[in-house]
Structures are given as structure tokens and as C-alpha cells.
Amino acid sequence: MRSIKLVFASALNSKRILKINRKMNKEITRRNAIKTMGAIAVGTAALGALNSCDENKAAAAPSGAKEKKGAVAPAIPVFAGDSDKITREFFDSLLLETRYIDSDIPDTTFELFGHKFATPIMTAALSHLFNNAPDGMNVYAAGAAKSNAVHWVGMGEYDELEQIIATGAKSIRIIKPLEDNKEIFRKIEHAAKSGCIAVGMDVDHSFSGDGHYDNVLGLQMKSKSSAELREFVQASPVPFIIKGIMSPSQAEKCLKIGVAGIVVSHHHGMVNYSCPPLMVLPEIRKVVGDKYPIFVDCGFESGMDVYKALALGATAVSVGRHLMPLLKDGAGAVSARIDAMTAELAGIMARTGVRDLKHFDPTVIHKRNF
Ligand SMILES: Cc1cc2nc3c(=O)[nH]c(=O)nc-3n(C[C@H](O)[C@H](O)[C@H](O)COP(=O)(O)O)c2cc1C
């Protein structure tokens, strides 16, 4: 009787996972269609704008954009320099060899800054999620907490962060490279006092696309020197992370600055023709060694994508836009997707002889050359 129940439960579970997968795939197809439509409609001049990193626009895109009915097939289908497209192609160009002998049931538990988590799959540092659900920022955090996953949070107000922490999510606050360093110190202090397990800065958001300092929703940005970043690191009561590193030489600078970690990320295509994060990851890992954790984001959509990043040297990965369409369905839906991705990751670990997060082996990965 018990085994019948188990089989039934596992069938129900697989059905649920399949349903979520189908939903996510539909959303991805819809988003690609929207991107293509945009490219046809506005022409090459506006393609930079499609790739723009205005977080507000990015948040609005899933519900705001509309597909045109009866559109003609494009002559130039999709902009070749779209960093998201290039990143997807790179993920899909990586193949695995299987390794069954001496393999066993894997352990996906993950330790970071003295805390234990169920999975190396974390949420990404998002903001302005009220476009996706009225209480989007809290739903997103509660989803991560329910999966016992690390939660990242992007720019936002002091009270918003306090509400996020109140969901129980163990959170990492990413602060913008504000022109006003005093406000940065205040935000570091506040995040630590509120209970964030770490803080950091997305240094890739200092410039606008036209060679000036960026202004994000009225907040003036400015690039930061190594000396300024070192001051933030030294002032922070909790570990300080730099987000937006895409080159081994910058990772080396981070070593000298004394950071507690970096995020390898092109910030959903801040620059067109960006290298995919997984392409630069092995070289960055070589420079960094085991001196600090390396997190990766941009375009993760499955446990398989996560596996490839971990095999190539990531300590853990973040998932952002892939989870956004689920916010309207509540924290349970976000958590179910993180759990399903973790289950897929575990399945591949078992079949490639990886028993835990410390035993990934990059030689499992082959670059498709046919
Ligand atoms: C709506 C939205 C808001 C974001 N806000 C921030 C932010 O405030 N700070 C930050 O460092 N990154 C922010 N990001 C970038 C993400 O952290 C991440 O680097 C990027 O989306 C790539 O990951 P993904 O492909 O999994 O979404 C935002 C992204 C989106 C889509």
C-alpha cells in the first residue's frame, strides 16, 4: 500500500514539474517572440534600447509587451549581438559525458557565510517587482525562504528591505554604485543591522549607454575606484560582494580589494556582444582559486544550466527573470520552480558521478564542435 502511495505521489510530482516546465517554456517562447517582434518593429537603431538595462523596463516587459497578430517572418530575425541570445546559445553548446560507476545519490546542500542552504540555486538581485505582482518583492523572497535558498535583493528603499527580511529569507543586498558614498555606507550599515547575510555592489551599473554616468530612477550613479571599494569592504560588518565582474583581470583586482565574493554577470545584457558568463568563468576561477566564492547569473532556466555553471567553477548560481512570471502565482510557485530545478540538478549530478557540490569536475563538459 505504502509503495502504491509513493508511486502515486511521485507521479503527481512529475506531473506538477512537467506542468511548471511547460508553463516556463511557453513564457520563454513568448518572450523570444516579443524580442523578435520588437526587432522587426523598431529596426536596428532601437536594438540597443531593447537590450537596455533599465530595471523598470525589464520588470514591465513580461506583462507590458504585446505580440502583433499576423506579423511577417523577419528578414533579419533576431539581433545577433543580443547578449541574452548569445548566452543561451553558449549554454546549449555545452554537452556532458555520463559517469555511473562509483556514483551515488548526490547531496545538493550548500554552505555560505556560515549558513546552510538546501540548494546552490539562489534568486537573483531583482528590484521593482510590483509590475509582476503587487507584493512581488516579498513573494520572491518568501519563495526563496520556502526552498531554503539564498535570496538576493537589488536596489530599493530601507523599509522594503526590512519587509523582505521579515519573510525569513536569508538575503544579500546589492547596493547601486551611487554617486553619494555616504548613502552607500548608510545602506551597508542598514542592511547588516536588518539581518542581511552579506551586501554588495553592482559595479556594472555606473555608466549609461552613451558614455555618461547613469541615472537610475533619479539616483545619480558614479564609477568606483579600487580604493573606494576597499573602503566599503572594510566598513561592512557583513561580507561584501562585487557584482558585474566579467574578466579575470577584474577578478584579480577584487582579490586585492579584499571582497568576500563576486558575481560573474553581464546584468541581462548591459552591453551587446557580451561574453556569456560561462565562457569567462573557467579563467576567472583560475585567477581566484578558492580565495572567495564565485556566483554566476544571466539566463539560467534549468537544472541543466545550473549543472554546467557548477562544473565550470561556479560556487552557486542566481536565477532572476526565469522566476518572474511565477510571482503572480505566489511564493509556492517560485519555491516549486527552485525545487524542480534543484531536483533536475541532482538527477544530472547522480548520472555524472558528482556526489556533492565540492566534487564537480569540468572534464565532464565538452564544447559542441559539430
Ligand atoms: C526587473 C529586474 C530588476 C533588476 N534589478 C537589479 C538591481 O536592483 N540590482 C542588481 O544588481 N541587478 C538587478 N537586476 C539584474 C539581475 O540581478 C541579474 O543580473 C540579471 O537579470 C541576469 O539574471 P537573469 O537572467 O537570471 O535575470 C535586475 C534585473 C531585472 C530583470
The CATH number of residue 243's host domain is 3.20.20.70
If you measure from the C-alpha of residue 153 to the centroid of ligand 1, how many angstroms do you get, rounded to a whole number? 9
CA distance 203 to 339: 30
Total-model pTM? 0.84
In this structure, is residue 20 part of a structural domain?
no
pLDDT at 77: 62
If you measure from the C-alpha of residue 125 to the centroid of ligand 1, how many angstroms do you get, rounded to a whole number? 5
Count of other CB atoms within 10 angstroms of residue 32: 14
In this structure, is residue 53 part of a structural domain?
no
In this structure, is residue 43 part of a structural domain?
no
The string of pLDDT tens digits covering residues 234-283 is: 999 999 999 999 999 999 999 999 999 999 999 999 999 999 999 999 99
In this structure, is residue 21 part of a structural domain?
no
More confident residue, 8 or 156: 156
* CB 260, CB 292: distance < 8 Å: yes
Q: What share of the chain is helix, strand, coil (3-state, %, to 5)?
A: 50, 15, 35
**187 in ligand 1 pocket by Cβ < 6 Å?**
no
In this structure, is residue 60 part of a structural domain?
no
- What's the whole-number average pLDDT of the chain? 86
In this structure, is residue 42 part of a structural domain?
no
Top mutation candidate among 35, 126, 245 for ligand 1, by most atoms within 8 Å of CB: 126
If you measure from the C-alpha of residue 370 to the centroid of ligand 1, how many angstroms do you get, rounded to a whole number? 34
Lowest-pLDDT range, 39-53, 237-251, 263-277, 290-304?
39-53
Please name the amino acid found at residue 47: L
**284 in ligand 1 pocket by Cβ < 6 Å?**
no
Q: pLDDT category, 75, cuts 50, 70, 90?
A: low
* CB 38, CB 50: distance < 8 Å: yes
Top mutation candidate among 51, 160, 321 for ligand 1, by most atoms within 8 Å of CB: 321
Atom 13 of ligand 1 has which residue's CA nearest to it? Answer: 126
Nearest to 122 by CA among 323, 327, 366: 323
Q: pLDDT category, 43, cuts 50, 70, 90?
A: very low
The string of pLDDT tens digits covering residues 83-103 is: 999 999 999 999 999 999 999
Instruction: Determine the structural domain holding residue 156 and report its residue range.
Output: 110-367
The string of pLDDT tens digits covering residues 157-195 is: 999 999 999 999 999 999 999 999 999 999 999 999 999
In this structure, is residue 71 part of a structural domain?
no
Q: pLDDT category, 41, cuts 50, 70, 90?
A: very low
CA 230 to centroid of chain Cα atoms: 25
DSSP 309-350: HHHTT-SEEEE-TTTGGGGGG-HHHHHHHHHHHHHHHHHHHH
Q: pLDDT category, 54, cuts 50, 70, 90?
A: low
206-214: long-range contacts at Cβ-Cβ below 8 A with a sequence spacing of 24 or more? 206/177, 209/48, 209/52, 213/179
* Domain count of the fold of the chain: 1
| Index of the ligand 1 atom closest to the CA of residue 266 | 19
Nearest to 353 by CA among 363, 342, 343: 363
**297 in ligand 1 pocket by Cβ < 6 Å?**
yes
If you measure from the C-alpha of residue 322 to the centroid of ligand 1, how many angstroms do you get, rounded to a whole number? 11
Is the per-residue pLDDT at 42 higher than 80?
no
In this structure, is residue 324 part of a structural domain?
yes
CA distance 58 to 40: 19
Backbone φ/ψ region at 319: left (φ over 0), alpha (ψ -120 to 50), beta: beta
The string of pLDDT tens digits covering residues 196-239 is: 999 999 999 999 999 999 999 999 999 999 999 999 999 999 99
Atom 9 of ligand 1 has which residue's CA nearest to it? Answer: 154
